[in-house]
Amino acid sequence: MVKRQLLYKEWKQSELTFILVMLASVFATPLSFLMEYSSFQTCLNDPTCTPLDNYFYYDFGSDMFITFSWTMSLVFAITQLGFERNKGQIDFTLSLPFSRTTIYHTKFFLGAGIITLVHVLSYVFTYILILCIQPQYTIAFNSGYLIALVSTLMFYSLCLAAGALTGSAISQAIVTFSTSILPYLLIWLPMFHLDYLLKTDRSWVDISYDYFIMPIAPITYITDRFQFRNLVENPIWFTGVEFIVPIVMLIVFYLIGLFSFIKHPVERNGRFFVYPKMDRPIQILVIAFGVLGFGWVGFSSDNSIFGYIAGMCIGGAVGALTSYFLIYRKR
């Protein structure tokens, strides 16, 4: 349940950030559309300029806002939780006469509501311009906006969940990025080593990548433009995967974040993870990823067993040092 007083407090706490991001995001695509049309008209009226086409069209699949709208979710989630922890404001928030469930619901509702409103307003303003200018055709207008909205909400849910598990803004950003590529680190990276050790033709690695690893990686849904895919070279799980999977992820991340926020110990603010039991397992994972990653780089550099082993040793050392200074040093 969302409380009006708490919603107002959350809005006022980050009001400037919300307003600036909203203004920049809402008008990004309409302005880009107008500038593209103005450039086309200027070229038509300039005898020294030869346009590629004699008619105007706009490709929303390459629009900057639609492509990078997920960054808005990152800014909102880190502002709402990461910076709140950094500034020590989380103690005040938790001392208010509201349950932690209500606080998390309110934060999520505010961020998700602004993200949805921004996409809707941008869509409406752009649609009005399309009716006025009447381009020959547009590419991926409806699907582009819808995919951008769903993927941005999913990434917001992920980043907010990361904020519920971590004790600072920087750790929230690191965990968000690491989780978004986790299937590549946890599954795909070991596959390369198995392929090298077993001397296979690597076709099973490519198939696993297309049909399993890429569809379950959150980063896929903020970087992949599904409407332009070559389905022969880059197959998908099933029709509608670009909507269904992010929605499922959104729900899963939301539940993880809610549960973590309800149970997290306040005295761990400033630590990398607010749950001390996560420190050692994550450190071991970071070292393992360092060993596997640097080992593969070492082998790729000279295709020798020496490069492979040397890379693994360097990766282990880098992973151990990095994990120690990130996880065990309080900020």
Q: pLDDT digit string (tens) for 95-123?
A: 888 889 999 999 999 999 999 999 999 99
Distance from C-alpha of 248 to C-alpha of 223, rounded to nearest angstrom: 18
Q: From the CA atom positions of the chain, what is the Rg in Å?
A: 23
Both 161 and 22 in one domain: the answer is yes
In a domain, residue 194? The reply is: no
Residue that has been written with the tokens 């992949």 in this structure: 224
pTM: 0.89
Same domain? For 161 and 281 the reply is: no
Shared-domain flag, residues 260 and 285: no
Instruction: Tell whether 193 is covered by a domain.
Output: no
Specify if 192 maps to a domain.
Answer: no
Output the six-digit token pair for 308.
Answer: 């492979």
Does residue 160 fall inside a structural domain? yes
For residue 224, pLDDT over 80 is answered with no
Residues 215 and 326 in one domain: no
Residues 167 and 214 reside in one and the same domain: yes
Task: Identify which of 221, 214, 187, 220 has the alpha carbon closest to the alpha carbon of residue 289.
Answer: 187
Statement to judge: residues 154 and 109 lie in one domain: yes
Angstrom distance (rounded) from CA 123 to CA 149:
11
Whether 70 maps to a domain, the answer reads yes
Shared domain for 63 and 18, answered yes or no, is yes
Q: How many domains does the chain have?
A: 2
Residue 216: per-residue pLDDT: 86
Name the residue with higher pLDDT: 297 or 133.
Answer: 133
Query: Quick one: 91 and 72 in the same domain?
Result: yes
Domain annotation covers residue 100: yes
> Residue 172's pLDDT is what?
93
**Is residue 196 one of the residues assigned to a domain?**
no
Residues 133, 11 share a domain: yes
- Tell whether the model's pLDDT for residue 196 goes beyond 60: yes
More confident call, 195 vs 20: 20
In this prediction, residue 157 has a pLDDT band, given cuts at 50, 70 and 90, of very high
Whether the CB-CB separation of 254 and 159 falls below 8 Å is answered with no
Structural domain span for residue 281: 275-331
Last residue of a domain, one of 270, 291, 311: 270
Burial code (b: 16+ CB inside 10 Å, e: under 16) for 152-174 equals bbbbbbbbbbbbbbbbbbebbbe
